[in-house]
Amino acid sequence: MKILSISDVHGDYNENFINYLENNKDIDLILINGDITNFGPLEFVGDFINSIVDLDFDVFAIQGNCDPKEVPDVIKDTNGTCLHKNVKTYGNVIIFGFGGSNPTPFNTPGEFEDEYLYENIKELLLEYEENMEDEDLKVKILLTHAPPLDSEADKIPDGVHVGSKAIRDIIEEFNIDINLCGHIHEAKSIDNIANTIVVNPGMLKDNHGCLVTIDDDTSDFNVEIVSFGQ
């Protein structure tokens, strides 16, 4: 199985990305890590997600902090799946989703206090643990817009870390295999926290995504940042 994760679309279709999809039809699922728009318009959400689905890919998406508050409901009206406050099984993968970010200096629409992020993401994970089946066969992915605090994924150019303590706490407390995030455009990276691989693929405009390749029999996986060209 192959899963491709992108983030911070900000209203840009990016022909390089579309060309990449057209040449890599063996990808099964596209994950969108938030900031689909740049404070709107809402119409772009459906147009963008449906354009990917029309290429015969499944799409799961969450909103980011720069998306209007209506975006989760708009995603639900597309041919993709809204993963905000949601858990979905896909083959031998279980994906937990939560959009938005911790507070920023810019008072953007999709911000949540860290305590709110922690309690809501924890609720998703605990609900799954109570009802889990064949846990050993599932690769657990946490899809967030905000990156965890004090990682390569949350570092702005002056070296300051601006990520979410809540998401870091969740990673340290639960058995998450991969955290796919975004939000900090300049922080394209692969990092590790405890036993979790943390990936921020950067802004889509910069032509990168994260490709997760999972062995269907063993659930072994590989994570890499791929280029869509220049």
Read off the pLDDT of each residue in 16-34 and give the average, rounded to a whole number.
98
Pairing of strands 93-98, 86-90: antiparallel
Written as six digits, the tokens of 194 are: 């405890």
pLDDT greater than 90 at residue 41: yes
- Give the pLDDT confidence score for residue 130 in this predicted structure: 75
- For residue 190, how many other CB atoms are within 10 A of its CB? 16
Are the CB atoms for 60 and 88 separated by under 8 Å?
Answer: yes
* DSSP H/E element including 162: none
Q: Is 69 exposed, middle or buried (0-12, 13-18, 19+ CB in 10 A)?
A: exposed
Q: Which candidate, 27, 32, 101, places its Cα nearest to that of 60?
A: 32
- Give the pLDDT confidence score for residue 51 in this predicted structure: 98
- pLDDT one-digit tens code per residue, 86-139: 999 999 999 999 999 999 999 999 999 999 999 999 999 998 887 775 556 689
- pLDDT one-digit tens code per residue, 49-71: 999 999 999 999 999 999 999 99
- Give the pLDDT confidence score for residue 29 in this predicted structure: 98
Written as six digits, the tokens of 70 are: 């209506």
Query: Rounded to whole angstroms, what are the CA distances from 6 to 20, 52, 107, 115, 158?
Result: 12, 12, 24, 26, 24
- Give the pLDDT confidence score for residue 229 in this predicted structure: 85
pLDDT greater than 90 at residue 230: no
- Give the pLDDT confidence score for residue 137 in this predicted structure: 64
Q: Determine the residue type at 7.
A: S
pTM, two decimal places? 0.97
Share of the chain above pLDDT 90, in %: 92
- Give the pLDDT confidence score for residue 220 in this predicted structure: 94
Read off the pLDDT of each residue in 9-27 and give the average, rounded to a whole number.
97
Are the CB atoms for 151 and 194 separated by under 8 Å?
Answer: no
- Alpha-helical regions (H) of 23-156: 43-53, 71-76, 114-130
Are the CB atoms for 121 and 145 separated by under 8 Å?
Answer: no
- pLDDT one-digit tens code per residue, 139-181: 999 999 999 999 999 999 999 999 999 999 999 999 899 999 9
Share of the chain above pLDDT 70, in %: 97
Written as six digits, the tokens of 195 are: 């036993």
